Amino acid sequence: MLTSDGALFVVATPLGNADDLSPRAREVLESAELVLAEDTRRAGLMCQRCNVRAKRFLSFHDHNEEEKTASIVTMLKEGARLALVSDAGLPLVADPGYRLVRACRAEGIPVSVIPGPCAPVTALAGSGIAPQPFTFFGFLPRARADIEETLRPFAALPVTLIFFERKDRLAETLRTAAAVLGPRELCIARELTKTHEEYLVGRLETPPDTAGLLGEITVVVGPPEARAVTPREEILALIAEERRGGGSPRSIARRVQARALGWTVKGIYAMMSSETGTEPAEE
């Protein structure tokens, strides 16, 4: 139930399917004195589709959030009950609103989140790609160099990556991501919860054809894939480990051979010779 005092309600709205609006979200939207909307026209259409009788809408988006926050906080302090919605999904996730929530917290104004649809989490859940941990970028930068700079720190991190992209930029963005991140699992999710919902599963280095894709697109890129260790690399790692224990090259080779099935002391000793380019001197 809504409180009688001023409060801000952050309300998740459907990504596409009107049936995804929760009863609690409906109650909040109909009872709120004002609905703060990223796009008042789209919010109005959403309410029509969902049979929600909202009272009034106020434009609240990236370009006016800072200037409108103070007056909204004043309304809340005077006892107004306001709802915040984005174009679709859960507000603040790649949408405006965090400055307002932070201001409310600073003023001791109650903030309640009405959870529900969320495009990044929906795409992740339907992708079949390892979900934990994951990083969500919103929309990536436009310039190739900026995309590379954004993705590069994640090239070696064991995390799944999620981002939005426009259909006309998708192919180029995937090529850039593949060059930076290397081979990975890929899922392109589009039109989530809508009639033409589709999950295209493949590889980042050889993505599906995206030329004819329409609608809103969420991309899920899997974490780095473990590279198979070759037998030579495995023996070299054992040699390096045993060297730290000291001893002559032949004693090191014997200790390595005791841990490496299928290898002889002579073969390991020869590998130590080839590694340095000279025959290891006896100590």
The tens digit of pLDDT for each residue in 84-95 reads 999 999 999 988
Q: Which of 163-172, 181-190, 208-217 has the lowest mean pLDDT?
A: 208-217
Contact 136, 120 (CB under 8 A): yes
Report, as an integer, the average pLDDT of 16-30: 97
DSSP tag of 89? B
Q: Kindly indicate the confidence band of residue 280, based on its pLDDT and cuts at 50, 70 and 90.
A: very low
Lowest-pLDDT range of 77-81, 101-105, 179-183, 266-270: 266-270
pLDDT at residue 282, rounded to an integer: 45
Percent of the chain with pLDDT over 70: 94
What is the DSSP secondary-structure string of 238-282?
A: HHHHHHTT---HHHHHHHHHHHSTT--HHHHHHHHHHHHTSPPPP
Q: The tokens of 269 are what? A: 């000793």
Burial code of 116-151, b = ≥16 C-beta within 10 A, e = fewer? Answer: bbbbbbbbbebbebeeeebebbeebeeeeeebeebb
Distance CA 239, CA 148 (A): 37
Residue 237 vs residue 202, higher pLDDT: 202
Average pLDDT, the chain: 91
Query: For residue 94, is it left (φ>0), alpha (ψ between -120 and 50) or beta?
Result: left
Q: pLDDT tier at 2 (50, 70, 90 boundaries)?
A: very low
- How confident is the model at residue 27, as a pLDDT? 97
pLDDT tens-digit readout, 103-146: 999 999 999 999 999 999 999 999 999 998 999 999 999 999 99
Specify the pLDDT at position 227.
Answer: 65
pLDDT digits (tens, 9 = 90+) for 210-247: 988 888 999 999 999 876 667 787 888 888 888 888 88
What is the pTM assigned to this prediction?
Answer: 0.77
